[in-house]
Structure 1
Amino acid sequence: MTEYEEVQVAGLLVRFVPAPGAHTVGACLRVSAGSAADPPRPWGTAHLTEHLRIAAALDDGSRLHLTGRTDNAETRFTVAALPEQEDEVVRTLARLLGDGRPLDDSVLAAERQAVLLEMRAAAANPLLLLGPAVAEATVPGGRMADTTRADQASVGGITLDDVEGFTAEHYRPENALLAVAAPPAHRKRLLDTVSAALKPSETPVASGDGEADRPPITLPSTVDGLSVLTLTVALDDHVGRSAVRALAFAEGPIGTRTARAGHPTAGMTTVTDGKHEVTVLCWRDEKPDGGLRDALATAFAAIRRADPDVVESWHYAAVREFQELAFARVSPLGLAQAALLPPPPSPGAHTMAGELRRAIGTARSWRVRAGTPHAEEMP
């Protein structure tokens, strides 16, 4: 678990992570608005705003490498730098919250092209579209696929007024969380820098619900015929999420049994909407002999019986997660990123069998036909 001090600075929640002896500083800013908050503006506004906030926050000649990522329910910015740049790091992240250099149409045009380039790169991998589309079918109204709804026409219609409106509504101190990892002796100065850089909010925060009709996602023909399995869990159910990970990873009971039957997993992804987490697994089921369904049925039966190898998969997944988190926390940036995450669960052995059965109870089976996922009877 990452230890941190949590304080309010000019309306912004700040988590300061002490990193004694660190030779770098790491920081992350989470804004609680993503693609689901696009409407009533054009789809893609949150993503384009992410790009333009970076352009506005960086000083001319800045050496910082500031990156952003827009998801359905939130947008995250991360940066790591040398110790002598730590004041610039926190000042730059604070500037993301509605202040910074003025933007013009030339910057808008350049960042619009950058967004379109990222969208084309994502569209080149059909599985990146499949996951959100099936997740949204699994949780109707869950806004799981909003990151994929933008197209060239909608992005082309976004104006500076749209971006400025989105920024004013959502890029506000009370709608964000900043995590900073740095040597403990630098804490006060960094918090003072954040306070000096923040611009007070002048109007109440909007709901950011993004209410609008959401047209269905049509998948490319390359994913037709794929068999898909979804596992759904509440985002705040940390033990349930751990159980799903134990079931879904490649060496878990589902992946190993389908691979032995000649159907290795073609892809796996996790999609969230701020309330739910849906894990999506898919297989290219080109054999008409029913081998995949038989393998899945065998896996589900083993999970319900709590076979020893199934329970062992929980142990293995938990150890692997612990190792990955421990490795990530070696750097200040990893510490800052971990401060934004809930602590990993440490389930007792007596809960494992029941939690694994509960996780598989949420499973749903799908088949993609004519670019649309269709629910099928479970194996």
Structure 2
Amino acid sequence: MPVAIYVLGFAIFAQGTSEFMLSGLLPEMAHDLNVSIPDAGLLISAYAIGMVIGAPLLAMATLRWPKRRALLSFLAVFIAAHMVGAVATGYPLLFTTRVIGAIACAGFFGVAAVTAVDLVGAHRAGRALSIVIGGITVSTVLGVPLGTVIGQQLGWRSAFWTVAALAAVAAAGVAVSVRTAPRRPGDETPRAVPRFTDELRSLADPGLWIVYGTSALIFSSMMASFSYLGAMLTTDTGLDASWVPVVLALFGVGSLIGIIVGGRVADAHPFPTLYLGASGVLLSCIGIAAFASHPIPVIVLVFLMGLFGLATNPAINVRVYAHLGQVRTLGGALVTSAFNVGNTLAPWLAGLAVAAGLGYRSTAWVGAGMCTLGLLTVAAGHLRNRRRTPVPPVSAEPVLVG
């Protein structure tokens, strides 16, 4: 794999740390900002809202930009938003910086995914995307627990400064590794200029929207539980707060194993991967809700939820790019939007359940309901795929992108 693939994965690690680290810091942030824990949880939804908005808008706004310039621009805005968030004294300003940082993050995700596919060709898209998207997984293994520990020891603001520093390192890596492809000798054919109308036409396949539905529901079904996991562990489960980073890290370890395995099998077996992964998440959510007061089962189930959930991610991306063909910037960016539509709904719905007095274990039941719907979309996509004519694949010849 090209070095740039790993650099993009590191950049997404930095940004993924920001998206998920608040799950272990909600009580501290709620106290400091003088808001309720469910209101603090909306800061996670704020990030997801920014991702939903930012992915398609920025993908199209920078459609004709060199990929390197777009990626660096997004990282610069992301860094600035987190520096302002680190010194924000009120909830409204912090909420705003979360949205702005997420919009930039979404733009980066969309361009990074297309960049990865362009670098390796469609025949290795699943493996390349598992590395790039694996940055999210590594953030749950290392970034989220580390951010939680830093936040608990030095204050939640220090976690924001840490994310800004990681993003700055990622920007330096992108500047060095993502380069414009040199023309081959004798190649005088002008490169095709992306067109907005072509990008819109690429979205006409109804099967593509079924895959977006799968993306919106399966991973976000975990977020309903994950967003309030820290609070549930210290209340329903009865663990000391010092155990929260450990359990979050176990979720990340499971996620890392899942995305590695999923990345290796998704290109050849996308639908079996989706069925198995979604079923595992569903059973894990049900188990967490049923055994919330028992520490050992909960810890094991959190690990399994991460493993099964992240195994589905490469398969979802393989299915998306199978529907898109050569024109794929907007369609690829909308994966991020779909993913975060669910991530917006999940913490909100889970927060409603908590606010209604149903307890933190109710968030796992919310996740189970979302995952059930996700399984239905997998089945619908599978049935439709049996009847459709395959889209001609993207050229398997690896290329560099500007």
Q: Same fold (TM over 0.5)?
A: no
Larger Rg: 1
Q: Which one has the bigger helix percentage?
A: 2
Q: Which one has the bigger strand percentage?
A: 1
TM-score by length of 2: 0.28
TM-score by length of 1: 0.29
Bigger RCO (CA 8 Å, 6+ sep): 2
